[in-house]
Structure 1
Amino acid sequence: MVLRRGRGRRGLFLIVGRVLCAAGGACGYGNLYSVGYGTSSTALSNALFNNGLSCGACFQIVCRLAESKYCYPGGSVVVTATNACPPGSEGGWCDPPKAHFDLSYPAFQRLAQPVGGVIPVRYKRVSCSRNGGIRFTIRGNPYFDLVLVTNVGEFGAVQSLQIKGERTGWTYMRQNWGANWQANVNVQGQALAFKVTLDNGRSLEFYNVAPKNWGFGQTFEADYNF
C-alpha cells in the first residue's frame, strides 16, 4: 500500500500494494518475522526515509472514516519503517518530494476494506513498543565491523552509533546503509559495548552486550531497551 500526502499530515491517501515481509529491504533487516517486525511494517518514500535514518521509526496511521466509506470505524495501525519505496515505483507516488507509505497487506486490512484502493488517513510518529532488549547483529571481518541494530524502543530510529571494546575507547560508527553501521576498528577478543543515540536526541550505553568470544554473524540482545 502507498500513502499519498496532500497538504499537511491530514492530506494522506493509501492504496493497496504488496506484502513487504519476505525481502531484506532497504533497511537491511532481512526476514521481518525473525527480527520481530512481521507484517506491522511499512516502506517509506524518499521524503520520509531520510537515507535510511528513519529505519525503525514507528508511525500510527488512522483511516479518516468521515471521508471514505471503505474505512473501518476506529481503523488504526502502528507500523515500523522497514523499507524504502523508491522513486519511479508505485506510479510515481514515491517520487520526491511526496510523502508516502507502502504498507504490508495485513496492515492495510486493519485500516480499511482492501477494495477501497485509495483512502484518506492521518499519521504521526509514536513510541515503539518492543519486547526484550535492543539487538546488535555483528558482521564483517577483523578490521571492518558492520553492525545491524534492531528491536529499538522509544523513537526507534537510530541517528548515531558508537562501539567500544573493553580495551578500547568509544569509536563512532558511520552509517553504511539502512540500519547498518560500520567502523574500521579491531575489537575481536573483547567484550563489546554500544552507545545508541535516537533521532529524539536520547542516548543510552549498553555494556557487556557481546562476550569476549563473540563471532561475526552473531546477534546479541542487551539486557534493556529505551
Structure 2
Amino acid sequence: MALSLLCPLVATFLFMQTLSADTSCTECFVQSRAAYYPNSQENGTDVGACGFGSFGATVNGGDVSAASNNLYRNGIGCGACYQVRCINNAYCSDNGVSVVITDQGSSDNTNFILSQRAFGGMALNTDTAAALLALGVVDIQYKRVSCNYPNKNITVEIDESSSNPHFLAFVIWFQQGSRDITAVQLCETQNFVCKLLDRNHGAVWTANSPPSGPLSLRMLFSAEEGEEAWVVPANNIPQDWKAGQTYDLGIQVDQ
C-alpha cells in the first residue's frame, strides 16, 4: 500500500520538475483562417470525431472547434486549447476566444471550424458578432494555450460500448494544461501489472480483457519540445465500473 501511495507523489513531483524547465512563448501566433458550423446550434456538436459526445458540445461553455488534420493529429489534438482571434479591426477584439478541440474538420483553407458561440466570441460586441457571423470565413491568428477548468479534476467517462470485464473504452474529460496525452496505461492496483492502451479514435482509449480489480491510470503528458512525464492520478477506476459512468480521477494538471 505504501508503494501505491508513493507512485502518484513521485510521478507528480517529476512532472512538476519537467514543467519548471519549460519556456513559454507569449506571441507565437500563427496566421490562418476560421469558419463556423453553419447548421449547428450555438454550442458545439455532440457527434465530434474526438468521441466526447454531449460533453464536447458544452465543455468550455460551448466555445469549441473542429481542427484541421495538422492540429487534430490523429486524435492527439483532442482536448487541446487554442486562443483564436480574427484580425479585422472593424469587428474583432484583441483577445479573441479560447476554444477546445472536440472535432476534426476544415473548410476553405481553415484550421478551425468554430461553434457559432466561439465564432461570435471573437467579435468586439454583440452587434459586431452578427456582422462577423455574416462573413462566414475570416482571417485569424492562433496559438496553443493552457486549458483551465476551475474546480474540475481530470475525469474519465466509460464508453457505452464497454462491457465489464471483457472490454473497456473510455474518454478523458477536462484535460488541463498545454500538453498532450500521448499514451495511457491501465494498471491493476494490487500487483501493479500495467497494460498499454490503444487510442481507438480521437480521445477514446480502449483495452480488451482489462486488468481485474480497481484500476489505476498512468497518463503520459508530452510537450511539443519533446519533454515527457508520466502522471498517476490520485483516484482509481473502481472494480465495478459500468458503461456510461464518469469517474473523477482526483488530479489537476495546470501546466
Instruction: Give the TM bin, normalised by the shorter chain.
Output: 0.7 to 0.9
Which residue, out of 58, 71, 78, partners 1:48?
71
1:83 aligned residue = 103
Contact 1:128/1:156 (CA < 8 Å) preserved in 2?
Answer: no
What is the CA distance between 1:128 and its match in structure 2? Answer: 0.4
2:35 to 15, 18, 43: 15
Q: Against the structure 1 CA distance between its residues 185 and 35, is the aligned structure 2 distance closer, same or farther, given a 3 Å change threshold?
A: farther
Provide closer, same or farther for how the CA distance between residues 22 and 101 of structure 1 changes in structure 2, counting only shifts above 3 A: closer
Partner AA of 1:83 in structure 2:
D
Shift of 1:123: 0.5
State the distance in 1 between where 2:45 and 2:33 align.
Answer: 25
Residue 3 of structure 2 is matched in structure 1 by none
Find the residue that maps to 2:158 and give its secondary structure.
strand
Higher helix share: 2
Residue 24 (structure 1) aligned with residue 47 (structure 2): yes
Shift of residue 106, structure 1, vs aligned partner:
0.7
Equivalent residue for 2:236, pick from 187, 209, 219:
209
Structure 1 contact 59–126 (Cα < 8 Å) conserved: yes
Letter in 2 for 1:176: N
Pick one of 124, 139, 157 that aligns with 1:137: 157
Pairwise CA distance, 1:52: 0.8
What residue identity is the alignment partner of 1:103?
A: L
CA contact (8 A) 1:21 1:32 kept: no
- In structure 1, the residue corresponding to 2:206 is in which secondary structure? strand
Of 159, 167, 171, which residue of structure 2 is paired with 1:148?
171
Normalization by structure 2: what TM-score?
A: 0.72
How far apart in 2 are the matches of 1:116 and 1:70? 10
Per-residue deviation at 1:162?
0.8
Decide whether the 8 Å contact of 1:174 with 1:182 is kept in 2: yes
Q: By how many angstroms is 1:36 displaced?
A: 3.0
User: Relative to 1, partners in 2 of residues 1:159 and 1:27: Cα closer, same or farther, differing over 3 Å?
Assistant: same
Match of 1:194 in 2: 217
Partner residue in 1 for 2:117: 106
Partner of 1:121: 140
Distance 1:17 1:186, change over 3 A: closer
**How many pairs are equivalent?**
206
User: For structure 2, which runs of at least 5 residues remain unmatched after alignment?
Assistant: 1-27, 124-131
Q: What is the aligned partner in structure 1 of residue 24 from structure 2?
A: none
Amino acid in structure 2 at the alignment position of 1:108 = F
Percent of residue pairs identical: 27
Q: CA deviation at 1:75?
A: 4.5
For 2:77, the aligned partner's letter is S
Checking the alignment, whether the CA contact within 8 Å between 1:9 and 1:123 is kept in structure 2 is yes
Contact 1:22 1:32 in 2 (8 A): no
Shift of 1:10: 4.0
SS of residue paired to 1:164: strand
Relative to structure 1, the CA distance from residue 33 to residue 172 in structure 2 (aligned partners, 3 Å threshold; closer, same or farther) is: closer
Matched, 1:159 2:182: yes
Cross-structure match for 2:205: 181
| Counterpart secondary structure, 1:154 | coil
Listed as ranges, the gaps of 5+ residues in structure 1 are: 1-7
Residue 9 of structure 1 and its aligned partner are, at CA, apart by 5.1
Cα shift at 1:205:
0.3
Over the aligned positions, Cα root-mean-square deviation in angstroms equals 2.4
Counterparts of 1:45 and 1:57, CA distance in 2: 13
Counterpart contact for 1:29–1:35, Cα < 8 Å = no
